[in-house]
Amino acid sequence: MEKIKFRLAATIFVCAVAIACAQSDPDFAGKGASLFGNSPTRAPDFVSLAKNLQPAVVNVSAMLTPKGKAAPGGPGGQRPGFGGEFFGMPSPDGPERSQGSGFIIEPDGVILTNAHVIEGAKKVIVRLVDKSEFEANVIGTDPPTDIALLKISAKEPLPTLAMGDSDHLQVGEWIMAVGNPFGLDSSVSSGIVSAKGRHLGEAYDRLIQTDASLNPGSSGGPLVNLNGRVVGISKAIVSQGGGNIGISFATPINLVKEILPQLRASGKVTRGWAGVAIQEITPGLADTLGIEKASGALVASVVQGGPAQRSGMKVGDVIIEFDGKKVVDAMDLPLWIARTPVDKSVAVKVQRERQQVELQLTLTMIPEGNPLQARGDEIG
């Protein structure tokens, strides 16, 4: 019993010393927090963040042509492979009108949103936070990344959101999403980054996964960090009934920044193309093919007469290096190919029958009616 009393007294003494140190040294709390990394010592200020963000977030309403009529879950309907859905939403005003979100990036009225929100639209209306409405011109769209650039003409300079650096985003980091779920303007939700580099089945998917509550109508809205910088554009959710279950996805803003100059200049994006469909290397495939690690990209098919076939690439080859970069994750390869200028010749290393072969691959533009894209394969 005496030992217990002594330990209790010792504990009280240590606590008293700690309190005294905190009072005498203003930096004591910060020093203590550093024991657990650089975590903030107080909760995020979502109130101030929301006040600063909401004025630059807009409602995007698309009057659809009959063939562009919104599908359940929003224009674009069910997403392949992962069970995700686009989440623009049909407007209650009628079946030929859909709604989503967007945000202003330039004070003269340039707006970013999702391409599927305005797909098939004969007229696009943007409503600001003060309820004023403008008919928008579509500057350009890029369906592969699901990005659209709009422009409205306002009499006064408009509030804007600054774009951040999504490459520096960390798993576990706080984020806030702003949008118009179910037509409820300027709704905010918060959460954390659940994962990065998610792939839903399209060639250029390297998406941010978050648990922030997003629902139909949020598509095209900004995903921002605690500094108020846009790090992503809300794109899709995993849902069995159309509502949020805590799994949603956003396009990284760095991918958007790459294509913005082309969208502004020509209204579309031109990418390099190799004419090859690939698949990931599993441990079983690696063992069969004689590869030490489950890395690289297996060539599943090549387009007849395409750049890959002209280079000598064959079905069954494993691409292990592209333009000096090691292929660790097969899903990186389509983006690398897309970023390569048209007509550039690059060195490609493949493993064929347990031997390394080096090829010279000259990229071209993606042709109209690309057969691999039509089948939804991972292409480059």
Distance CA 40, CA 150 (A): 37
Distance CA 304, CA 6 (A): 84
Distance CA 81, CA 50 (A): 34
Is residue 146 part of the annotated active site? The answer reads yes
Of 61, 98, 116, 317, the active-site residue reads: 116
Q: Which of 327, 321, 319, 328 is nearest to 289 (CA)?
A: 319
Contact (Cβ atoms closer than 8 angstroms) between residue 192 and residue 174: yes
Of 101, 142, 146, 234, the active-site residue reads: 146
Contact (Cβ atoms closer than 8 angstroms) between residue 296 and residue 349: no
DSSP states of 207-223:
EEEE-S---TT-TT-EE
Distance CA 133, CA 154 (A): 10
- Residue where the block lists tokens 């010279």: 360
Q: Which of 218, 224, 3 is nearest to 116 (CA)?
A: 218
Of 98, 190, 219, 311, the active-site residue reads: 219
Is residue 219 part of the annotated active site? The answer reads yes
Q: How many CB atoms lie within 10 A of CB 80?
A: 10
Any residues with CB less than 8 A from the CB of 266 and at least 6 apart, and which?
A: 140
Q: How many CB atoms lie within 10 A of CB 158?
A: 19
Report, as residue numbers or ranges, the catalytic residues: 116, 146, 219
